[in-house]
Amino acid sequence: MRRSTLLYAVLAIVVVVIIIVGYYAAVGKIHAGNTGSSGTVLVPSQTVDSIPGGQFDAIELLATSNCTLNGTFYDVLEIYLYLMTPAELEHLARTLVVGGYEWTSGEVDNGTITHLNLAIPVGASDFVILNPELFNETYVGFYSNLILT
């Protein structure tokens, strides 16, 4: 009886881990704690972010006045950058399909150094980094702070 209880406990833990990993694989990583207003460092320099194949990373922005998102970074494979409304990001998180966006970089090729200087409107929006490679993880490295000014 003791052995079967242990087996059930291990199976329960495995199921919980699979559900948690599946959730993050399905909806991407969203940096909800990085909401910022003007003058806020959203991602510090020297940060390297990994994005699994077919997934995205998003940074919430809350601009109290017209601002600019600035930073310099590179990618290892290809990525797409988007500025989305919260509703557009929610659609992406549910379906993994880009249903709308306010701005896009288009394809950013492997090894490209991006000097971002993006106008951010007043209100809530999300800066999204999408990895279109379905089976390959990509990395985004920040040479300078990603900052809302």
Tell me which amino acid residue 24 is: Y
Q: Note whether 120 and 66 are within 8 A (CB).
A: yes
Q: Any idea where the domains of the chain sit in the sequence?
A: 29-148
User: Percentage of residues in the chain with pLDDT exceeding 90?
Assistant: 60
* pLDDT (average), residues 93-112: 91
Taking only the tens place, the pLDDT of each residue in 30-39 is: 444 344 555 7
pLDDT greater at residue 147 or residue 21:
147
- Identity of the residue numbered 30: I
pLDDT at 135: 92
Say how far apart CA 127 and CA 109 lie, in whole Å: 18
User: pLDDT at position 18, please?
Assistant: 53
Residue 7 has pLDDT above 90, yes or no: no
Q: Is 136 exposed, middle or buried (0-12, 13-18, 19+ CB in 10 A)?
A: middle
Domain range 29-148, its CATH number among 3.30.310, 3.30.1370, 1.10.20, 2.60.120: 2.60.120
Taking only the tens place, the pLDDT of each residue in 24-77 is: 444 445 444 344 555 789 999 999 999 999 999 999 999 988 899 999 999 998
Counting beta carbons within 10 angstroms of the beta carbon of residue 120, is it exposed (0 to 12), middle (13 to 18) or buried (19 or more)?
buried
